Structure 1
């Protein structure tokens, strides 16, 4: 199944989508909790909207503005209330011959919202952990009946 930009939600995996590259940046090196990584960022879209795409590792810098690309096995995350698309070592990015994807100026400015997303998927934040999370004490706890 091929996804559309407006159907993407945070925490999705195995995303397959065909989009037009609206803007593409040069690769840069960033510091992560796992060490240094090379990334490039792009804005991509289809007839349903736009989304930020982060290309990790060897995929960084491999796309150019104006081209139509097919992305297989990508995943989504949430950042600052917006859904973001990610492609890394297990993803496949290739040029596509798809005349159904509109030109950049015809792609709607709408971006999928992450809403109240709380992690999950690759790199998601965990709450609670092994020892359990914080639980506020109820007023009735610890009081003796008189």
Structure 2
């Protein structure tokens, strides 16, 4: 499967969504495979198959089954400014992410990707910093806080506004339903958006103590 340079980033993004790895991880694995002939990226095995003029040929497999074989221009592998986040923000990738997410599936924090919508997460509240005042585009002042939540796989900031802030406490086990993943100042954030919901779970797994839904 030969990919044009203009669509290679999107192809790597599709692989990342389908197999649960980040585009930058796939890119770095390609670089490593070129150098060492083989590399591993999550459950994917990448093999350097040779060079044709200025293009490098790679074979990607999973459990010995072929996932893809394609050519990459050598210059692409030398770039330091590949726009990984923009690859994830194309309409095609967003539709793919939306199709994979539904209410019965929970995403681990390590698997959160910029552009994800309607994502469900269960985590513990690790830290709630002091709320800060921010001025909105409508001229009013509101309180906002970026709480730190985490599971066994990592941590992420959860952006909370006004009344949402008092709905959780440090140590709570919480559930975020239909959230969205954004990037703000270079950091991933989990937000509730217009349709998201936040609840505090009883015990470690199930039960809801309270619900705060953004309107």
Q: Find the counterpart in structure 1 of residue 173 from structure 2.
A: 68
Matched, 1:31 2:112: no
Q: Could you say which residue in structure 2 is the equivalent of 1:3?
A: 107
More helix by share: 2
Aligned to 1:60, the other structure's residue is in SS state helix
Unaligned runs of 5+ in 2: 1-104, 206-215
Q: Which residue of 2 aligns with 1:90?
A: 195
Deviation at 1:25, TM superposition (A): 2.7
TM-score normalized by structure 2?
0.42
Alpha-carbon separation, structure 2, partners of 1:88 and 1:58: 14
Deviations 1:66-114 (A, max 9, x none): 11001112111112332111124522111113536xxxxxxxxxxxxxx
Higher mean C-alpha deviation, range 54-63 or range 1-10: 54-63
**What is the aligned counterpart of 1:21 among 111, 116, 125?**
125
C-alpha RMSD of matched pairs (Å) = 2.0
Contact 1:55 1:88 (8 Å CA) reproduced:
no
- Alpha-carbon distance in structure 2 between the residues aligned to 1:14 and 1:59: 18
Hey, what's the Cα distance between the residues in 1 that align with 2:193 and 2:164?
7
- Encode CA deviations 1:51-75: one digit per residue, 9 max, x unaligned: 0111124312321111100111211
Deviations 1:124-146 (A, max 9, x none): xxxxxxxxxxxxxxxxxxxxxxx
TM-score (norm 1): 0.60
Task: Determine if the alignment matches structure 1 residue 58 to structure 2 residue 182.
Answer: no
| Residues 74/57 of structure 1: CA separation in 2 closer, same or farther (3 Å cut) | farther
Question: Does the alignment pair 1:49 with 2:154?
Answer: yes
Q: Distance in 1 between matches of 2:172 and 2:125?
A: 6
Greater RCO structure (CA 8 Å; 6+ sep): 1
Deviations 1:20-62 (A, max 9, x none): 0000134433113344433222100001000011112431232
